[in-house]
Amino acid sequence: MRTEICDRLGIDVPIFAFTHCRDVAAAVSNAGGMGVLGAVGFSAEQLEIELTWLDEHVKGFYGVDLVIPARYEGAGMDDLSPEQLEAALAERVPAGHREFAEELLNSHNVPHLPPEEQHAQLLGWTAVTAAPQVEVILRHPKAKLVANALGTPPKDVVEKIQESGRLIGALCGSVKHAMNHKNAGLDFVVCQGTEGGGHCGEITSMVLWPQVVEAVGDLPVLAAGGIGSGAQIAAALAMGAAGAWTGSLWLTVEEANVPPAQQQTLLDASSSDTVRSKSWTGKPCRMLKNDWTEAWERSDTPSPLPMPMQMMVALDAVKRGHRYPEAAKDVAFNPVGQVVGMMTKVERTGALMGRLVEEYLAACARLEALNQR
């Protein structure tokens, strides 16, 4: 199961786990894979705390995932500070969108936040606001890998990361995007089919993975989108992938910082309960469909705004959903892939890693037996 990228990153198995929870990231890295912490929800100061904790609890290395979109509202306003950019974009948000979001939450009796928690920063949804996060990452040697979730990272970010000895890559949902990453000199691409949770394209994994592998040549490809078993990892490697990039699976492990009500919603969901929606971030994002996603799709309601302004509308809902998960379960932000239908029990991260490896070996054994017939 060991591939070349394992040697470059100092890991035992090519299993990458995207998560917003530092405990999960540490557990995956300590089990031989690479935990990748999603940074978009953290200020630079908070990210410093998270990475310092990971430095102390990870025996080897870990990764960090940024969100610097290639295209977004406000791109080109690089002369502004993060605070100035946030203020400038806030002026472009129609009052009707905020009012509609507020009415939707009130209709579901989701309590308001305490006054001290009401301000929600834009954080890492633009190049300007993500720049301080990059500087934090560069101060932590165990942060061996950086991935950008939306588009090819800016040239200066790529140069800084590579000059520090780290690997930098980005997610893609098409051959075109993969070639953009390759031409920009990235070290790897994460090829995500439409089954995947979060931001994704329209092409399925089984079709997309081999196309991207062939197109980028010797550039390592990490397969993502719908991976929930070791057999699927074996299939990805058989098609030329250098490893598996997983995400949704880690929402239902014991270490995940997911409220019990939200976790139970995931455990109860089937693979047909997800939808690609712009209602939270402004770009197509796969999540559990609920009253929030359906409300923004109606013809008599506001249309989602471009990124990052839609997230500026939705940030209050995200925070209220985290604080009051029971009340907000029908209007909560639940990004997850179609693999949710395979997520039927809670288990320890280490046990899940072990199961993935065992299932991979069993799949390889089945193929070997067929080859010997």
pLDDT at 64: 97
Closest Cα partner for 125 from 306, 284, 362, 370? Answer: 306
Question: To 5 degrees, how large is the angle CA 24–CA 246–CA 151?
Answer: 110
Q: What is the mean pLDDT of residues 171-198?
A: 97
Sketch out the chain's domains with CATH numbers.
4-80+123-275+338-371 (3.20.20.70)
Give per-residue pLDDT as tens, 12-65: 999 999 999 999 999 999 999 999 999 988 888 999 999 999 999 999 999 999
Give per-residue pLDDT as tens, 216-244: 999 999 999 999 999 999 999 999 999 99
Hey, what amino acid is at 114?
A: P
* 361 C-beta neighbours (distance < 10 Å), count: 13
**Percent of the chain, pLDDT > 90?**
79
DSSP state of 204: -
Give per-residue pLDDT as tens, 118-133: 665 665 667 777 888 9
pLDDT band (50, 70, 90) for residue 309: confident
Detail the DSSP E strand segments found in 87-239.
143-148, 167-172, 188-192, 198-199, 221-224
Q: What is the mean pLDDT of residues 164-177?
A: 96
Range from 122-126, 209-213, 313-317 that averages highest in pLDDT: 209-213
pLDDT at 119: 63
pLDDT at 270: 97
The pLDDT of residue 76 is above 90? no
Which tokens is 132 given?
A: 């301080």
